[in-house]
């Protein structure tokens, strides 16, 4: 049974105004962009750390001879 003023069943003008401001100021897109930037920064740090811990063999600079087509 719902009780008068129970937040589960009450939707106030203040809540409506806050939702409108959130949409107007595009907070959700801003938040998603920050999350994506933070994820990318973390991934780039992991890549940097891994690259410094792995020794890659030297790259051969000459092209290998082409095999004749049969």
Task: Supply the range of the domain harboring residue 47.
Answer: 13-52
DSSP state letter for 49: H
Is 21 domain-assigned?
yes
Is 48 domain-assigned?
yes
What pLDDT is recorded for position 16?
A: 86
pLDDT tens-digit readout, 25-70 = 999 999 999 999 999 999 999 999 998 888 777 777 776 667 777 6
How many structural domains compose the chain? 1
CA separation, residue 41 to residues 21, 33, 35, 37, 49 (Å):
29, 12, 10, 6, 12
Is 61 domain-assigned?
no
Residue 1 reports pLDDT greater than 60 = no
Tell me if residue 8 falls in helix, strand or coil.
Answer: coil
CA–CA gap between residue 50 and residue 21 (Å, rounded): 43
């Amino acid at each position: 049974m719902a009780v008068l003023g129970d937040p589960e069943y009450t939707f106030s003008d203040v809540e409506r105004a806050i939702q409108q401001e959130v949409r107007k100021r595009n907070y959700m897109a801003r938040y998603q962009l920050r999350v994506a930037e933070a994820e990318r920064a973390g991934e780039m740090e992991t890549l940097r750390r891994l690259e410094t811990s792995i020794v890659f063999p030297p790259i051969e600079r000459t092209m290998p001879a082409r095999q004749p087509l049969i």
